[in-house]
């Protein structure tokens, strides 16, 4: 029976343990450019079986928060390269999370001050972060405009370019962010997708953009270096689907032939309860549907895992467990889990924005 501390393969990646650093937005990349402070933060966490970077915009249009990084320009590729070099030199592995926020944005963050884009012109009842003079403020998202069908190939091309850039920047692979109510999740779910063309209506139509993106990315860099994050029932960023079980069953069956490195599932409400009475979901059934369709690679679970829950998940057949808040506060999390050591407590006030405090100053064990 494997434990959290045993090695595992995830597509082309060989991981020395099953403890993954979850993607964590930290808003410390002014100008959408990664920097030396971020390099220190990631390098400190290189003992993770795998690091997944904070969500990283594939295009200026894909940005929805102040001071989050991007991966569309040569300058961003060069800046990320110093980070991947540092993690590799410290013995780690790192993939980048590719992000388009869709409607979860604000005109102040969009090219030319335009409206954010979405499957349909329906505002998300959620907030985003602007930073002025170093001070973060939480503001309502702006009213989006519906994407014209003729614009969708350009968005697929932006994901493809970001995947190519990721490899140039030295990443070990990419994770496509299709969770938490961002663009690809907005297309998947009935609450945010009211389209009447080939990208709306039926499950197959709502999943079309995601599958086009996944095919483009795997064609560009190979399935064994490509992964996907999903959140079937999260209410994060105001998304809901009428029938998530058949929707996500369709998605994983369609993904099976791509030979992905891993599939990453947020169980329940992102950062909140793992079970939602009004949004039941059978995660074991989803995994079984993926495997029954020939889906390879690792199965990664996330949301609210502590040491005991994570050990149980691995004993029950999860290949990888992603930890968010615990990795913010504990750069040496794998060692602390192995030794049953005391954990530093994460400080919410320093999650988003700022400098070293609450970022690179959490101590490792002596």
Q: Which residues bind ligand 8OZ (CB under 6 A)?
A: 25, 55, 65, 180, 236, 270
CB proximity list for 78: less than 8 A, separation 6 or greater: 169
CA distance 310 to 290: 21
CB of 33 to ligand 8OZ, least distance (A): 18
Q: Residue 123, class by beta-carbon neighbours within 10 Å (0-12 exposed, 13-18 middle, 19+ buried)?
A: middle
Nearer to ligand 8OZ, 184 or 314 (CB): 184
Strands (E), 267-335: 298-302, 320-323
Helices (H), the chain: 36-44, 74-89, 152-168, 183-188, 203-206, 208-221, 244-255, 283-292, 307-315, 325-329, 333-339
CB of 247 to ligand 8OZ, least distance (A): 19
CB of 129 to ligand 8OZ, least distance (A): 7
Name the token pair of 228. Answer: 């996907």
CB of 345 to ligand 8OZ, least distance (A): 19
Nearer to ligand 8OZ, 25 or 84 (CB): 25
Nearer to ligand 8OZ, 8 or 210 (CB): 210
CB proximity list for 238: less than 8 A, separation 6 or greater: 124, 125, 126, 181, 191, 192
Nearer to ligand 8OZ, 193 or 270 (CB): 270
CB proximity list for 311: less than 8 A, separation 6 or greater: 3, 4
Choosing from 41, 42, 65, 182, the catalytic residue is: 182
- The dihedral built from the CA positions of residue 317, 323, 326 and 330, taken in this order, carries a sign that is positive
Nearer to ligand 8OZ, 55 or 321 (CB): 55
Which value, in Å, is the radius of gyration of the alpha carbons in the chain? Answer: 19
CB of 273 to ligand 8OZ, least distance (A): 16
Angle 125-130-132 from CA coordinates, rounded to 5°: 155
Name the token pair of 130. Answer: 């602007």
User: Is 159 one of the catalytic residues?
Assistant: no
CB of 46 to ligand 8OZ, least distance (A): 22
Strand partners, 132: 135
Q: Which residues are catalytic?
A: 182
């Amino acid at each position: 029976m494997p434990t959290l501390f045993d090695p595992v393969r995830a597509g082309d990646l060989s991981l020395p343990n099953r403890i993954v650093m979850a993607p964590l937005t930290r808003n410390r990349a002014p100008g959408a450019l990664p920097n030396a402070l971020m390099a220190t933060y990631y390098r400190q966490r290189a003992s993770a079986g795998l690091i997944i970077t904070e969500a990283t915009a594939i295009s200026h249009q894909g940005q929805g928060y102040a001071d989050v990084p991007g991966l569309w320009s040569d300058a961003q590729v060069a800046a990320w390269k110093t980070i991947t070099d540092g993690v590799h030199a410290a013995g780690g592995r790192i993939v980048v999370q590719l992000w388009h926020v869709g409607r979860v944005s604000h005109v102040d963050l969009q090219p030319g001050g335009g409206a954010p884009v979405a499957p349909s012109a329906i505002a998300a009842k959620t907030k985003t972060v602007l930073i002025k003079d170093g001070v973060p403020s939480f503001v309502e998202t702006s009213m989006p405009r519906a994407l014209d069908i003729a614009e969708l190939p350009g968005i697929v091309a932006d994901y493809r370019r970001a995947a190519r850039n990721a490899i140039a920047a030295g990443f070990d692979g990419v994770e496509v962010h299709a969770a938490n109510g961002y663009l690809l999740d907005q297309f998947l779910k009935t609450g945010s997708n009211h389209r009447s063309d080939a990208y709306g209506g039926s499950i197959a139509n709502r999943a079309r953009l995601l599958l086009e993106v996944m095919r483009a990315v795997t064609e560009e860099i190979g399935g064994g270096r490509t992964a996907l994050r999903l959140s079937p029932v999260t209410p994060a960023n105001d998304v809901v689907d009428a029938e998530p079980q058949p929707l996500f069953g369709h998605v994983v069956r369609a993904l099976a032939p791509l030979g992905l490195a891993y599939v990453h599932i947020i169980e329940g409400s992102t950062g909140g309860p793992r079970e939602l009475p009004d949004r039941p979901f059978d995660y074991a059934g989803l995994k079984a549907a993926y495997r029954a369709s020939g889906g390879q690679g690792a199965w990664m679970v996330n949301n609210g895992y502590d040491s005991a829950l994570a050990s149980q998940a691995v004993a029950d057949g999860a290949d990888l467990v992603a930890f968010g808040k615990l990795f913010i506060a504990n750069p040496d999390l794998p060692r602390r889990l192995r030794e049953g050591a005391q954990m530093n407590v994460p400080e919410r006030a320093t999650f988003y924005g700022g400098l070293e405090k609450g970022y690179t100053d959490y101590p490792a064990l002596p």
